[in-house]
Amino acid sequence: QGRPAVELDLKRSANGDTLEAARIMQRWATQTRATLPPGVGLTTFDESWSLLQERIMLLIKNGATGLLLVLLVLFLFLRGWVATWVALGIPTAFLAALALLYAFGGSINMISLFAFIMTLGVIVDDAIVVGEQALSRYQERGESAVSASVNAARRMWPPVLSSSLTTIAAFLPLMLVGGVIGNILFDIPFVLICVILASLVEAFLVLPGHLAQTFPGMSRQDTGSGLRARFDRAFNRFRDGPFQRSVALAVRWRTTTLATGVALLLITTGLLVGGRLPFSFFPSPDSNILYGNAKFVAGTPEKDVNAFIDHLRETLYATEDALAGEPVNLAVARRGTTAGEQEAGGSQSGDQFGALVVELVNPSQRAISASDFRDRWRARIEPAAGLESLSLSVRSGGPPGRDLSIRLTGADANALKAAATDLTGVLEDFAGVSAVTDDMPYGRQQILYRLNDQGQSIGLTEADVGRQLRAAYAGDLAQIFTRGEDELEVRVGVTQTARNDPAALGWLPIKTPRGETVPLEGVVDFRTQRGFEALRHAEAQLAVQVQGDVDREVTNANRILDQLKADALPRISSQYGVAWEYTGRAEDQRDTLADMKRGLVLGLVLIYLVLAAVFASYIWPLVVMAVIPFGLVGALTGHWLLGIDLTILSLFGIFGLSGIVVNNSIILVSFYRDLRTEQMSVYDALVGASCRRLRPMLLTSLTTMGGLTPLLFETSLQAQFLIPMAVSLVFGLAFATVIVLFLVPAMLSLEQGIAARFSA
């Protein structure tokens, strides 16, 4: 507000509790305000902990809604007491998972909370399979309550254990992802593995005892009443009618079924390869911090810079007045420096720099996004004389760095600056690109000299001239003496008046090797050019970094980088003799995707080893794993239908989806093998296994989808970066369920037919 201020920047320790640190800060601020003298105030701003708390409460709200959906699905598909005991396994397993999380040094944070929400449905999958099998044995086979519970646990132990191991194998490689992204997302696979281990203990050591006590109170002939009875009858009619006929048709026309699945996979993959489904490395929720950085020509009077910063503040509040509501919370002007850790080269200081740090109210309390507000603010700003660059940027969350970051390297500073200026112009021509800057700002005018023919003829060198210039202007050390406790230097040089007079430079006497003196302008030629405020190096070469922000609603950073690589960058490299490379987020993306590719190979190997041990076969694991690519169909289609970019979190969801797809396939194949031991034909066993697995597979899929579905409909901007992973799992699981029920029997039928032909 035009008054002088001092900023105090508070940060928690690396292992500190964010919310506890915020409480300490608030207590300190309250106590300190009471001790301040009149006219001095204390204002807290840019409190990032409040955004964290808001996101945590958002996740808790969505988690509670997801839990209600999970319970609704359980009580719709399962008998009352069985559903009750399965549902009670959720808090039991969660408490056990929290104990494991604590034991291994984990913490409750935004990512780990999201992981717990993601596992709301997964945590009951094992209990559903055991409970449904125990109820089936008790009702259909007439076994005693204890026998049905124990035999169900024994029967389902191998396939459930193997399915859990395959899920762990799918997520385990994600814990090996390095860098910033690995640190951010490590909690997702970590929490999921803890939950799976806890759910195994609950499903096989706790649940059977509860079921054994519950079954005697249930009549074997009781099929329920009211809604439950009508739902069961309708479900059985669907399973034994349309569904059975559809599976039978898929098995009979097995090659057509497989070809249809492959065609769908190719079409959806084409969405990604063809660019219709863009990829954004890490989505950022709407921020509440804006940076306005102004850079003037070196030597610009300080009052001119300050006047422009005042103009920025005036236009800021004029923009706010033109909008409904009051989106601006606070604006802090900084004189003689830039603001924002993400600025190219970091913060810069000098009389020619000025900045305005703007804090908007929380995104949930305003109707306009930070980027839209920035654009309206920019439209009101009038450039000032001497303004070299003006950058208005929005602080982005996630990994450090800005959306676009290209490093140019070369041997000549002027060529690098020219190349950076050319690249800056190219980037500014892209729609949706803003705040383009480089980290090689121009400095003051420099006077350069080069030895002329006369100077060379009398034996002078440029080094000789340089030493004498240094002695004249910096002073030549003549004597050192002590006075009391101080040591003083005596330097001899030109007077202050001569030092500040450019004309006096030409008359500076230069001593020749022959002992004569000549004026400087007689032995050198002068020229002037603008110098640079700073020269930076990368890998022992001069380097300049060009950075910019991307509006994700308009364009995509990867799309821009691809266009630069195809056209502008090769031209700039050839024209100016410089080399280029992507840095910042593009570099993080490259490293993260490389780690995930290695993790994919490791995960597939681990899944194969688990399946090979379960089925005692080298071929059957390949049949089961063949459905993994088809999980992409639902995940990619979901992103395309909802208009959401594919992100690194989407890929994490696809990794987890591969384990869930394999889980359902394992239990389906296990049922098929059991039916074959009962002397059923291949055809009848495949159709029968798919029909028997319909209810538990739908139940496990719907509970997992139900836990995440509330996030899909979350309109809060703070949840947007988590939604892509939920989309991958919900849509991928919906399609994967159909794939397993229809495509796996068709592929098994094809495999069995080929095996029979070779064995004949």
* pLDDT tens readout for residues 238-258: 888 899 999 999 989 989 988
**Residue 597, burial from CB neighbour count under 10 angstroms (0-12, 13-18, 19+):** exposed
Identify the weakest region by mean pLDDT among 519-528, 599-608, 651-660. 651-660
- 399 falls in which pLDDT band (50, 70, 90)? low
Residue 187 has pLDDT above 90, yes or no: no
Record the tokens describing residue 27, joined without a space.
């207590």
Cα three-residue angle 504-509-515, rounded to 5 degrees: 180
**pLDDT at residue 100 tops 60:** yes
Out of 159-168, 182-191, 659-668, least confident range: 659-668
Q: What is the reported pLDDT for 571?
A: 92
Name the DSSP class of 734: H
Cβ-contact 319, 380 below 8 angstroms? yes
Q: Which two tokens stand for residue 182?
A: 């690995």
What type of residue is 296?
F
What local confidence, expressed as pLDDT, does residue 614 receive? Answer: 80
Q: Which residues contact 483 (CB under 8 A, 6 or more apart)?
A: none
Q: Is pLDDT at 760 greater than 70 in this prediction?
A: no
Distances (CA, A) of 239 to 47, 245, 664: 56, 9, 18
Residue 334: strand pairing partners: 355
Q: Hunting for tokens 């088809």 — which residue is that? A: 630
pLDDT band at 725 (very low <50, low <70, confident <90, very high): confident
- State whether the Cα torsion 527-532-533-537 is positive or negative: negative
Average pLDDT, the chain: 83
Phi, psi of 29 (to 5 degrees): -65, -40
Q: Is the pLDDT of residue 68 over 80?
A: yes
What is the percentage of the chain residues whose pLDDT exceeds 90? 7
Q: Which of the pair, 687 or 679, is modelled with greater confidence?
A: 687
CA distance 691 to 697: 10
Whole-number Å distance between alpha carbons of 223 and 130: 19
Tokens of 341: 């850790």
What is the predicted pLDDT for the residue at 343? 47
33-42, 106-115, 366-375, 589-598: which is most confident: 33-42
Q: What is the C-alpha separation between 563 and 547, in angstroms, rounded?
A: 16
pLDDT tens digits, 107-136: 887 788 878 877 776 777 777 778 777 777
For residue 572, what pLDDT is reported? 92
Single pTM value for the model: 0.75
What letter would DSSP give residue 243?
I
Residue 346 has pLDDT above 60, yes or no: no
Q: Which of 445, 433, 437 is nearest to 348 (CA)?
A: 437
Split at pLDDT 50, 70, 90, the class of 397 is low
Contact 389, 511 (CB under 8 A): no
Asked whether the beta carbons of 155 and 133 are under 8 A apart, the reply is yes
Q: What are the pLDDT digits (tens) for 493-531?
A: 888 888 888 888 888 888 888 888 889 888 899 888 877
Q: Residue 30's pLDDT is what?
A: 92
Q: How far apart are CA 633 and CA 305, in angstroms?
A: 56
Q: Cα–Cα distances in Å, from 193 out to 293, 469, 708?
A: 46, 70, 18
8-state DSSP, 383: P
Least confident of 130-144, 402-416, 659-673: 130-144
Average pLDDT over residues 427-442: 83
At 689, list the tokens.
Answer: 């296994």
Position 398 scores a pLDDT of: 64
Cα 595 to Cα 280, 377, 585, 591: the distances in Å are 17, 41, 15, 6
H/E stretch holding 685: helix 682-712
Q: Among the listed ranges 115-119, 165-169, 308-312, 677-681, which one has the minimum average pLDDT value?
A: 115-119
Closest Cα to residue 406, out of 640, 563, 199?
Answer: 563
Flag whether pLDDT at 58 surpasses 50.
yes
Angle between helices 648-677 and 723-738 (to 10 degrees): 20
Region label for 340, one of left (φ > 0), alpha (ψ between -120 and 50) or beta (otherwise): left
Q: Is the pLDDT of residue 171 over 90?
A: no
Question: Do residues 752 and 623 lie in contact, with contact meaning Cβ atoms separated by under 8 Å?
Answer: no
How many angstroms separate the CA atoms of 404 and 584, rounded? 8
Q: Are 306 and 335 in contact (CB under 8 A)?
A: yes
Q: How confident is the model at residue 389, as a pLDDT?
A: 81
pLDDT at residue number 37: 92
Please report, in angstroms and rounded to a whole number, the separation of the first and last CA atoms in the chain.
90
Tokens of 31: 């106590």
Distance, in Å, from the CA atom of 42 to the CA atom of 36, rounded to the nearest integer, reads 8
DSSP string, 407-475: EEEES-HHHHHHHHHHHHHHHHTSTTEEEEEES--EEEEEEEEEE-HHHHHTT--HHHHHHHHHHHHH-
How do residues 264-290 score in pLDDT, each as one tens digit?
Answer: 889 988 888 877 888 877 767 777 888
The predicted structure's pLDDT at residue 25 = 92
Q: pLDDT: is 695 or 43 the higher one?
A: 43
Q: CA 647 to CA 723: how far, in whole Å? A: 10
424-448: average pLDDT: 84
Give the residue, 754 or 575, on which the prediction is more confident: 575
Q: Is 4 helix (H, G, I), strand (E, B) or coil?
A: coil
Q: What is the CA radius of gyration of the chain?
A: 35
Residue 217 pLDDT > 90? no
Check: CB of residue 84 under 8 Å from CB of residue 49.
no
Measured CA to CA, the distance from residue 622 to residue 609 in angstroms comes to: 11
Nearest to 406 by CA among 281, 572, 182: 572
362, 50 in Cβ contact below 8 A? yes
Which residue, among 185, 196, 17, 199, has the nearest Cα to 108 in the 3D structure?
A: 17
Task: Give the pLDDT confidence of 574-589 residue by residue, as tens digits.
Answer: 999 899 988 877 888 8
Any idea of the CA torsion for 492, 495, 499, 501, to the nearest 10 degrees? -150
- In this prediction, residue 221 has a pLDDT band, given cuts at 50, 70 and 90, of very low
Confidence at 220, pLDDT banded by 50, 70, 90? very low
Q: Which residues pair with 142 in a beta bridge?
A: none
**pLDDT at residue 423, as a whole number:** 92
Q: How large is the average pLDDT for residues 627-637?
A: 85
pLDDT at 28 over 90: yes
